[in-house]
Structure 1
Amino acid sequence: MSLVKADRNGIELEMPYDSRLIGNPETGVIHSGAITTLMDSCCGLAVFTRMEQLEACPTLDLRIDHMTTAQPDKPVRAFAEAYHITRSMVFTRGVAYQESRDQPIAHAVGTFMRIGQNSMKSMQERFQ
């Protein structure tokens, strides 16, 4: 995956087509698990576009509605935004697509738990 764009409005990632991601060898269609991973990553990164300071925010809940399959031999893009932030949670929504956001492959809604800055500091200390 690579970063296409990031700002306070959201984040956009691109996942290139790769034969290792194929779920059905007969059609060449990307496995839905790869799309789910793309959406989880995109929604998770969208959290940080709205945070004032870095803090741990693991995925608490992620719902993916797979609308159709991705076309073989084409990259898949994802866009996600953090649309509501509370003291303990961040709520995100996103879409995976190839040609246009108006022709979605999948929709995602994610909830991320804010653990806090102190947790980030203790994790950094643990791994130093």
Structure 2
Amino acid sequence: MYDRIKQSFDQQGIMKTIGAQLAEVEKGKVKITCEFSEKLTQHNGFFHAGVLTTIVDSACGYAALTTMPENANVLTVEFKVNFMKPAKTDQLVAIGKVLQAGRTLTICEGYVYNRNEEKLIAKMTATMIALV
């Protein structure tokens, strides 16, 4: 399972561009990290909301993929993100978790924390579709 997710993750140009790393993979749960860089900030010097959204969307998508057959692929159908605090941290930790896996649609929740996973920065609810 890890190899399948890692191979796909390594093909994503956006993950390379922002320096994101695949940290953990288990059935129904994926963790992605991203180290701080001034290149990833908004006007106040915090991580840009687009960076948070990008890594938590991918974490949710890969969490969904861990529940799908080997020949399946996944795409995001929709998501909603709530930003709870400014992303002022030296590392983002995005965790995607499957809430309900179906044949076609999978519902996930995603969370973005600081490095120690003590401060919740953002929360996502996402729907993923299986492509077979």
TM norm. shorter chain > 0.5: yes
Contact (CA 8 Å) 1:48, 1:54: kept in 2 or not? no
Q: How is 1:24-103 mapped onto 2 (pairs within 5 angstroms)?
A: 24=43, 27-72=44-89, 74-103=90-119
| 1:55 maps to amino acid | A
C-alpha change, 1:2 and 1:9, in structure 2 (3 Å) is: same
The answer to whether structure 1 residue 7 and structure 2 residue 23 are counterparts is: no
Flag the structure with larger Rg: 1
Contact (CA 8 Å) 2:105, 2:130: kept in 1 or not? yes
**Which runs of 5 or more residues in structure 2 are unaligned?**
1-19
Of the three residues 30, 34, 41, the one matched with 1:22 is 41
Q: Cα RMSD (Å) of the superposition?
A: 1.5
What's the CA shift string for 1:77-109, capped at 9, x where partnerless? 011111211121011111000044452100011
Aligned length: 113
Task: Write out the 4+ residue segments of structure 1 that deviate beyond 6 Å after TM superposition.
Answer: none
| 2:36 maps to amino acid | Y
Identity over aligned pairs, percent: 21
The residue that corresponds to 1:124 in the other structure is none
Partners of 1:20 and 1:54 in 2: how far apart?
A: 36
Partners of 2:106 and 2:70 in 1: how far apart?
A: 14
**Which runs of 5 or more residues in structure 1 are unaligned?**
117-128
Query: Could you tell me the TM-score, scaled by structure 2's length?
Result: 0.78
Partners of 1:111 and 1:54 in 2: how far apart?
A: 19
Contact (CA 8 Å) 1:22, 1:29: kept in 2 or not? yes
Contact (CA 8 Å) 2:91, 2:115: kept in 1 or not? no
Shift of 1:50: 1.7
